[in-house]
């Protein structure tokens, strides 16, 4: 019998398992971390892995608290500035960290963080089972305080039967735990894929600036620094285009990426308006256009690949003795670099709920304890995701009045440092 079973040792599961064991407020629970895949291992090489993600300062702190961050050594790459600009106009945004020691985010390799999370869980005394897929999960119909055998969560691994007081689904977008618990999810398929690769580039300076460009038809390309002269490319585009990019020869792919970084698709009406009316904002001291000198890609260093993109939010995140976290509960478009960061936020919110329940003398596996987590997490994620969706729609449109409106909007935001501070703090 386990106190808690974390299903899935991706980016979220290992960290959740480690935090439960390290909690000073819970009675040292017996925790199992299990995954259908092999135990993640990682060797650092000169060229960074094809899959890298941006880790915000809040998540970095959590990873530090559970002992995972230090295992990454010097490999995380600090990013101090973000430049966002539009291929259809003069608008753009620049965010910059105020202090050298407080970067906006760190780029890290996905296999490295998964491995560090599992190693931290191992150090904390979590039991580990790999190549062990959870099957035949039976979630009880209700939480019963005066526990009967049938009130635990039952499951099988390799045809052996187990039970647990609490089951945590960190098992990704196709979560078996979510399905077994009957938790529904509202989802949207963008028919887009995220094309990814790691490249070498010149014109990067100290390579501490991330670039993101919104292109016509809803494409977004991000260049994320990850080494002195290396960038991780994430190009979100129609699925057919991503497949085409994957097939290109190196020279053609380099040319294609460099082209979209400089291409100007500003409608002629906007050029005219900008030419004749920009003296108005200038007269009150506003900067009316951004000149961006993006990096130039010179070499493709990694294999290329692409991942399906979509957005989803579970309508409920808990069931009797069961909760879901990370991509099992929500998925977002990668242009904001927040998917895993939202999952690590779940880890904090859930652990906080369990600890508060236990400190108040309530069974921390009870419905009362779990529903507090659900309430806070759903409110936070729903608000954030609707903001992201709005932004995505705003940049998807090519219609001239909308393009003009967003150019004016971004110009005002870019001139307002207080507003930009709010954006940065929300992303942290
Ligand atoms: C192109 C792209 C770029 C991204 N960039 C960023 C970024 O910059 N910043 C960011 O925060 N996020 C980013 N994300 C999102 C991020 O990758 C995901 O949010 C994150 O990987 C989710 O982690 P997870 O642990 O919830 O799920 P997963 O990583 O999917 O892990 C789930 C694990 O569960 C295991 N599993 C599944 N079913 C079972 C079962 N029945 N039994 C046992 N094990 C099981 C799987 O083997 C897997 O190991 C990006 C995503 C994409 C596609």
Q: Is the pLDDT of residue 145 over 70?
A: no
CB-ligand 1 contact for 117 (6 Å cutoff): no
**Residue 188 banded pLDDT, cuts 50, 70, 90:** confident
Instruction: Say if residue 56 is exposed, middle or buried (CB neighbours under 10 Å; 0-12, 13-18, 19+).
Output: buried
The CATH code of the domain at 2-427 is 3.50.50.60
Q: How far apart are CA 403 and CA 400, in angstroms?
A: 5
CA 97 and chain centroid, separation: 20
Q: Is the CB of 56 under 6 A from ligand 1?
A: no
Find where tokens 């991000």 sit: 222
State if residue 34 touches ligand 1 by the CB under 6 angstroms criterion.
yes
Task: Please report, for the chain, the start and end positions of each structural domain, with discontinuous segments joined by +.
Answer: 2-427
Spatial separation of the C-alpha atoms in residues 418 and 428, rounded to whole Å: 15
- Quick check: CB of 209 below 6 Å from ligand 1? no
What average pLDDT score do residues 354-364 get? 94
Residue 220 β-bridge partners: 214, 236
Q: What are the residues whose beta carbons fall under 8 Å from the beta carbon of 316, sequence distance 6 or more?
A: 183, 184, 374
Phi-psi region of 321 (alpha: psi -120 to 50; beta: other; left: phi over 0): left
Asked if the model's pLDDT at residue 422 lies above 90, the reply is: no
Q: Which of 383, 376, 387, 378 is nearest to 315 (CA)?
A: 378
The protein residue whose alpha carbon is closest to atom 44 in ligand 1 is: 35
Percentage, residues of the chain above pLDDT 70: 82
Using an 8 Å Cβ cutoff, are 208 and 83 in contact? no
What is the C-alpha separation between 318 and 66, in angstroms, rounded?
24
Atom 37 of ligand 1 has which residue's CA nearest to it?
A: 171
Work out the pLDDT band at 250, boundaries 50, 70, 90: very high
What is the per-residue pLDDT for 221?
95
Predicted local confidence at residue 400, as pLDDT: 62
Establish whether residue 172 lines the binding site of ligand 1, counting it when its CB lies within 6 angstroms of any ligand atom: yes
Annotate 212-229 with b (16+ C-beta within 10 A) or e (fewer).
bbbbbebbbbbbbbbbeb
Q: In angstroms, rounded to a whole number, what is the distance separating the alpha carbons of residues 264 and 246?
A: 24
What is the band of 416 on the pLDDT scale with cuts at 50, 70, 90?
low
Q: How far, in Å, are 12, 38, 351 from residue 210 at the CA level? A: 25, 33, 32
Q: How many CB atoms lie within 10 A of CB 175?
A: 23
Confidence category of residue 147, pLDDT binned at 50, 70, 90? low
With a 6 A CB cut-off, is 346 part of the ligand 1 pocket?
no
pLDDT band at 284 (very low <50, low <70, confident <90, very high): low
Give the pLDDT score at 154: 94
Residue with tokens 């300076």: 205
Q: Is it the case that residue 99 has pLDDT exceeding 70?
A: yes
Q: What is the pLDDT of residue 401?
A: 60
C-beta separation of 12 from 340 below 8 A: yes
Rounded distance between C-alpha atoms, residue 222 and residue 280, angstroms: 32
Q: Cα separation of 106 and 112, whole Å?
A: 13
Q: Locate 427 and state its tokens.
A: 């992303």
Q: Which segment of 40-54, 107-121, 169-183, 238-252 scores lowest on mean pLDDT? A: 40-54
Beta-bridge partner residues of 314: 185
Helix axes 400-414, 268-277, angle to 10 degrees: 40
pLDDT band at 303 (very low <50, low <70, confident <90, very high): very high
Q: How far is the CA of 119 from the centre of ligand 1 (A)?
A: 17
Q: Rounded distance, CA 367 to CA 373, Å?
A: 10
**Using a 6 Å cutoff on CB, does residue 236 contact ligand 1?**
no
Atom of ligand 1 nearest to the CA of 328: 26
Average pLDDT for residues 352-366, to the nearest whole number?
94
């Amino acid at each position: 019998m386990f106190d808690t079973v974390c299903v899935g040792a991706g980016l979220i599961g290992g960290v959740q398992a480690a935090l439960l064991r390290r909690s000073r407020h819970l009675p040292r629970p017996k925790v199992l971390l299990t995954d259908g895949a092999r135990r993640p291992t990682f060797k650092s090489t000169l060229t960074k892995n094809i899959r890298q993600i941006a880790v915000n300062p809040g998540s970095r702190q959590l990873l530090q608290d559970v002992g995972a961050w230090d295992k990454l050594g010097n490999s995380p790459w600090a990013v101090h500035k973000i430049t966002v600009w539009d291929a259809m106009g003069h608008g753009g945004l620049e965010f910059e960290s105020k202090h050298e020691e407080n970067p906006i985010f760190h780029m890290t390799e996905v296999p490295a963080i998964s491995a560090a999370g599992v190693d931290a869980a191992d150090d904390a005394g979590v039991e580990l089972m790999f190549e062990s897929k959870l099957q035949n999960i039976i979630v009880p119909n209700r939480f019963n305080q005066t526990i009967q055998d049938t009130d635990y969560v039952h499951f099988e691994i390799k045809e052996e039967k187990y039970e647990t007081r609490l089951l945590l689904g960190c098992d990704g977008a196709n979560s078996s735990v979510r399905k077994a618990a009957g938790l529904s999810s509202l989802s949207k398929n963008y028919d887009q894929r995220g094309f990814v690769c790691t490249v070498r580039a010149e014109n990067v300076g100290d390579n501490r600036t991330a670039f993101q460009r919104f292109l016509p038809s809803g494409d977004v390309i991000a260049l994320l620094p990850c080494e002195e002269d290396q960038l991780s490319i994430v190009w979100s585009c129609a699925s057919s285009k991503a497949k085409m990019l994957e097939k290109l020869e190196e020279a053609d792919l380099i040319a294609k990426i460099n082209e979209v970084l400089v291409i100007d698709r500003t409608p002629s009406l906007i050029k005219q308006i900008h030419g004749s009316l920009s003296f108005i904002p200038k007269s009150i001291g506003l900067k009316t256009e951004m000149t961006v000198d993006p990096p130039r890609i010179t070499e493709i260093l990694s294999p290329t690949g692409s991942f399906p993109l979509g957005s989803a939010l579970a309508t409920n995140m808990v069931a009797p003795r069961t909760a879901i976290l990370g991509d099992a509960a929500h998925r977002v478009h990668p242009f904001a670099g927040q998917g895993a960061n939202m999952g690590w936020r779940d880890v904090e919110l859930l652990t906080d709920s369990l600890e508060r329940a236990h400190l108040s003398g309530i069974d921390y596996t009870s419905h009362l304890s779990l529903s507090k987590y659900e309430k806070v997490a759903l409110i936070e994620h729903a608000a954030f995701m609707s903001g992201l969706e709005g932004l995505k729609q705003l940049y998807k449109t090519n219609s001239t009045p909308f393009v003009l409106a967003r150019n004016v909007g971004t110009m005002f935001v870019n001139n307002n440092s207080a507003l930009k501070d709010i954006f940065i703090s929300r992303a942290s």
